Amino acid sequence: MQQTSTITVRVRYAETDQMGVVYHANYFVWFEMGRVECLRELGFEYKQMEVMDDCHLPVVEATCRYKAPARYDELLILETRIVALRSGVVKFAYRLLRSEGFQLLAEAQTTHVVVDGRMQKRTLPDKYATALRTQLR
């Protein structure tokens, strides 16, 4: 069974649009927050991957299915998990829920390729691959 990393997010006023709901692109900011914390829970920081190991994970594909709107000052729960791992690709999945009533607001996935600082493909270093694989079990 896949392990899930969970964070909470409170919707800030600046994240809403003229209709009073969260602007669609802001969900992807939260997904990034979820990814970073997911990696931290596995024992390393994304910054460490970049600086110490010249290993970067740019997003090459992102999808989101919006189910219901989030609004200003609501407390949300973001669940993040790793759903696929190959030597040069990592895929994350996300579920965003309203904390009150646990209503599903959005489901998303992002696909990342492994590159170096020159944006050349490379394999994921073993220490990271091993840690990421633990979440797939």
| Distance from C-alpha of 136 to C-alpha of 117, rounded to nearest angstrom | 27
CB neighbourhood size of 39 (10 A): 25
- Out of 17, 53, 54, 126, the active site residue is 17
Which residue, 98, 24, 12, is CA-closest to 64?
Answer: 24
Cβ distance 125 to 114 under 8 Å? Answer: no
| Distance from C-alpha of 116 to C-alpha of 123, rounded to nearest angstrom | 9
Question: 100 phi and psi, to 5 degrees?
Answer: -85, 110
17 classed as catalytic: yes
Lookup: tokens for 119: 């944006």
Residues annotated catalytic, as ranges: 17
